[in-house]
Each structure stands twice: as C-alpha cells, then as structure tokens.
Structure 1
C-alpha cells in the first residue's frame, strides 16, 4: 500500500510517518475497546491460574474491581515460551495493569539473578544517551547539580548499575541510588566516584530515609512497582521543599501499543503496570504532588539528530507524536509543591493536580 519508501523506515518510527496511519490505529484501538467484554473480578479469577509469586489485584488508581482483559504478552527464545501474563484495562479510569500481579514481597525474585548482565556495552551507551536527552527536555532542572546553597541532593530510585548516577556525578549532584538487585548495586559502586548505591528499600538506608532530596529520578522503574500508591507517598515524603520527581516509563497510550497489541515492546517480562498522560496524574494527585509536566518523546535518534529520516518525515513524526500519544515513552516531571512549580515550571505546560492545566512563567 505504502511502497518501499516506508519499508525502509525503522518500525518504531514507521507508524508515525505513514500517511493516515495515526487515525487508523486510533480507530483500531477504539474498536478493540468496544469489542472486548468487561467482566467481574470473580469471573476473571475463574479464567486464570495463580502463580506462586502472584496475587489478583484491582485498579490501584481508582479502586474499580471490574476487568477488561486486553492482552496476553509472551516472551522467550524461538518457539519456547519462557514467560506470559495477562494485561487488563480498568473500565472506569482506563489504567492498564498486569493481573494477576507480582506480590510485593516477591518482587526481588525478578531481579536476583545477574540482572546487571545486560546493562553494559551498547545498552549502557544507549541508556545514557536517553538520560541526557530527557534531562535536556526538562532543562534547567538537570543542567547543574549545585546552586547558591551548595550541591543539590539527588536520589536515583532503581539505580541499576549506576548508569544515571554516573551522569549525575558529572553534573555536580550529591547523588545516591538504591536498587533491589545486589549484583547491580555492586556494579554501580565499582563505576562511581562520589555517588553511592545501596541495596534494599529507602526506609532501611539511613542515608536515604532522612529525605530532604531536591530531585528523585525513576528511570524505567515505574512499570516495575507493584504498590505505586505506597511508593509515591514515600517519594513525596523524601522530597524537600521545591523538590521534583522525574519519571521515564513506557507509554500506555502509545500508537505502537494500539497497533501491535500483545507484541508491543513495552510489555516485558518484569513490567507490571502501564501509565499514560491520562492516568499518571491520578497517581500523583493521590500521593500529594502539586503538579506535573510532560515532554513528548520523539525517539532517541530524532532528538539526537542522528536519524536517517528525510526532513519531511521528521516533521511529520514530530507532529503526529504531539497530536497522538506523546511517543512510545512517557516523560514526566512531578512537582512536590507550589514552590517547585514556581522554581522549575517556567516554560513548561504544568498540569496542576486540581484539574487545571496552564503554562507557568
């Protein structure tokens, strides 16, 4: 239908540059929602086997118990399936989540075995490029880690092998990290000079539990949290006055999800919950944040200027990302209080969490 011109476009970008594709995928999504039956939790439980580390849950954002089963992601090598789960939609608020989900006390089971093994080489270079691009999108929050009062304190929650902490060091932040993977923490501390990574949870580490952080970062962590309300209340308590929380996660409103369904690359073995710009504000509002701003994600190569797309396709991609979904990744900056909005919100479209959206500054 489109010809070889579009076949040469990388698949992740193709959906944003082919004429008419955005509208076709949105229609496809609406049809899927209309055709998929909403059932009670009891009906859903009868259809599912419960694994040893799993539990049935209801919507964490609004409490609705009804289930709309939409996807069954699977993964493995070749024809051998090594993991599979169900993703349901809350018919009340639209939140997507895995059900059955992982019991919080067993979350470490997903990361205990050499989880840092792939966090090296080309992967590491790509992740650090994405971190830099996201920091640029929320400038000037991350331009430098010190101000007139000294070094700004930063906590990287789910710090992995320290790829971001290394960048935070370079920008002058007084940085610490925490992670549930012991081998990742060991690798991070080998990498770092001033910053330090800790194994465990914030309340068990005195250097973190005292709070007073200027910045907390969640790099591809939010989708892994089985109790987001509890965790975000913790984050809010750890932030000092004027503090901000940076979130990078897969985007549950992505056109790629709407097009590829269970084969979407945001459905990975360890992902538990999936947020969009429509559902994330409910999480932040319930946990005491004052506002949130989103930055569109156009793709690493487009933002870095290394894409091979012709200029006409590049412009079309940016336009469709802005009109449709904000991109395949969701980038958000949450403001702890009005002081944070006044200090950092200038030039951003801040959505105050009383339901009012307005530019600041």
Structure 2
C-alpha cells in the first residue's frame, strides 16, 4: 500500500485540498505522531566520538570536520543524509549535548565563496524570488513597529542577494546598505536600487559599513549559510548602534516538516550548513553579547497572506499545532543589542527573553 493511499484512508479526501506544506499541521493527530517519531529517532540514533565519526565519512576538498559550534561538544549523532540535483550530498548530525543540528563535515570558511561564485543570482531571481517581498512584508509586520518607519535610521542587509529586501527598506525611508558574496547578485542589486548600495565581500572590507552605527541588521535566509556563526554574530553586535536590533529569518530545526520527512525536508538545501531552533539561537546570541530575543511564530506565507483559503477549523488547528510544537517551517527572530533596544522595541505582543549578564 502506497503512502499516498494510506494517507487518504487515514485522513480522508478533505485534506487532499490542503497545500502539501500545511497538511502536517492540520491532519488530526499528526503533530503527536510526528513528535513521537522524532523522539524515537533521537533515542535510536548512535552517538559517536568525533574520531570515529571522521573515519566513517569522506572529506571533500572544501570541507572540514567540526565539533558543535554552540556548546563545543565533540561527540556526533548522525541523523540525516540529504541529497539533491547535480549530485550534491552531505551529512547532518545532532549535538547530543545541546541538540544543535549541523552539516558535518562542513564547508571551510575560506571556501564559502565557492558556493556563490557563479550562477547564484539566477536562482535568487527565478522561482525562489517570486514571493520573497511578500515574506519580507509579513515578517516586518510580525515585528511591528521596528520596520514601520526608517527615516534617519541606518540598516544593513547581510547577504542582500539581488536587493529585493533593500527595495522595501528604501521605500520605508531607511539609509540602507547591503553586502553579499555573489558579485553577480551585487551588480544586479545596484542596478535595481535608487539610494541603497550593496557591496561584494565582508562588512569589515567596506568603510561605510565597517564604521557601524546601524539601527537594524537583517539576515533573510542567511543564518543557515554561515560557517562561523559566533564570529559573525560578534561582528554584527559590534556594528549595531545603542538600541539596535537584528532580525533573522531562517529554516526552523524544530519544524514538523523536518520531523515528518527527515532527509527530504525542504530546509536541507545545497548551501545550508547549520540548522537552528528557538533552543539554540539564544545560545548563539547570548554568547555574542546580545541582551535578549523574541520570536514570532510562522504559520506559512500563504496562510498569513490569506491566499490559501482553509476552513476556519483547519486554520485554528494549524495555528494551534505550530504554537504547541514550535514547529513552523521557518523561524522568525528579533535579537536586541541591549536594554535600550528591549525598552524601545520589546513591547506589544512580543515576549522578550532576557539573557543573564
């Protein structure tokens, strides 16, 4: 019996009309099934010493073996082996101490540009880009009023791609800058933009950016691409002005879709290196000098925009299951540089989690 037929017998035809990405969240009982499935996987997967793990895995030309970036644990719990078009394949492990998921072996920082040197902007401007600005709008709305008015405020978009977000930042009045590793993307962004400017390379290589004083830094689907996140976030913290905030949108390592589909999860893409959750992002932020963090649940772009018409009972069930499991497929994060930032932007519906000093 095929999985598709089994699903129809279990859930009925009503759920066949629900978009594939939302079915896990609305079918009766599936959240509990997938969470039990995940717990069983964690219990059964072996835990290996790093030396033993290294002997069991090939090492590519641009790769290196790592211990956990969040807590330093060297032991490895192999879980997944994602594969994709053009023959790419890698291994994803879990830290048995703090639960962090990461690719191991990982890409060496000095070779990261190899992933973005050519052809990447065609990906960013194709199917992937069709609904990006809608996603930006929805996320900015979730963290209102941080992005409502940009006049006399400086913004840095790290990993700015072809400038799709910087267009919106311009419209809202921000003095906007961007950096990206793809020279093709930078060139295309600067053709698109009126006042904002993007640069190829790292923030410290650009005097206008290295000077800091940013009120907002944004990382749109960038965090999973960083091979040395502690170094990068210490740098971001130094670039923020007093009262500044950092916004992160990234794939969610607690996603119910990950728990359901394992190695076939959409978050395992060719260039993703590390996979964060609401349990591991605070460790990264606390260790790099931030004062606190807030999260906004992600129910799905088409659900939040109203373009997917679900019956009201299924809409309520979806929202409840996302909130109970912290299992939306994306994670939206607002990091606060200091107490001034918390006081200025931490009100309203946001629950701010302060870090111990």
Same fold (TM over 0.5): yes
The change in CA–CA distance for 1:49 and 1:118 in structure 2 (over 3 A counts) is same
Determine the C-alpha separation between the residues in 2 that align with 1:123 and 1:203: 29
Partner of 1:60: 69
Deviation readout 1:275-315 (Å, 9 max, x if unpaired): 00011100000000000000000001111111121111111
Partner of 2:16: 7
Determine the C-alpha separation between the residues in 1 that align with 2:68 and 2:343: 33
Determine the C-alpha separation between the residues in 2 that align with 1:337 and 1:75: 41
Partner of 1:307: 308
**Which of 57, 64, 69 is 1:48 aligned to?**
57
Shift of 1:354: 2.0
SS of the counterpart of 1:116? helix
SS of the counterpart of 1:226? coil
Determine the C-alpha separation between the residues in 1 that align with 2:205 and 2:238: 15
Determine the C-alpha separation between the residues in 2 that align with 1:43 and 1:123: 39
1:132 aligns with 2:137: yes
SS of the counterpart of 1:74? coil
1:23 aligns with 2:14: no
Partner of 2:115: 110
Q: Gaps (5+ residues) in structure 1?
A: 356-361
Deviation readout 1:154-177 (Å, 9 max, x if unpaired): 000000000000000000000000
Determine the C-alpha separation between the residues in 1 that align with 2:127 and 2:118: 21
Partner of 1:141: 146
SS of the counterpart of 1:69? strand
Determine the C-alpha separation between the residues in 2 that align with 1:287 and 1:234: 9
Alignment check: 8 A CA contact 2:133 2:165 kept: yes
Shift of 1:106: 0.2
1:351 aligns with 2:353: yes
110-119 vs 218-227, which moves further: 110-119
Partner of 1:119: 124
Determine the C-alpha separation between the residues in 1 that align with 2:31 and 2:25: 7
Deviation readout 1:211-266 (Å, 9 max, x if unpaired): 00000000000000000000000000000100000000000000100010000000
* CA-based RMSD: 1.0
Alignment check: 8 A CA contact 1:40 1:65 kept: yes
SS of the counterpart of 1:63? coil
Determine the C-alpha separation between the residues in 2 that align with 1:132 and 1:280: 23
Q: Give the length in aligned residue pairs.
A: 347
The within-5 A match list for 1:152-163 is: 152-163=153-164
Q: Gaps (5+ residues) in structure 2?
A: 1-9
Determine the C-alpha separation between the residues in 2 that align with 1:174 and 1:309: 39
Partner of 2:318: 317
Partner of 1:211: 212
Alignment check: 8 A CA contact 1:295 1:326 kept: no
1:184 aligns with 2:189: no
Determine the C-alpha separation between the residues in 2 that align with 1:75 and 1:4: 31
Determine the C-alpha separation between the residues in 2 that align with 1:123 and 1:101: 24
Determine the C-alpha separation between the residues in 2 that align with 1:75 and 1:257: 16
Shift of 1:125: 3.5
Determine the C-alpha separation between the residues in 2 that align with 1:25 and 1:353: 31
State the TM-score, normalizing by the size of structure 2. Answer: 0.96
Which portions of structure 1, spanning 4 or more consecutive aligned residues, are displaced by more than 4 angstroms?
A: none
1:328 aligns with 2:329: yes
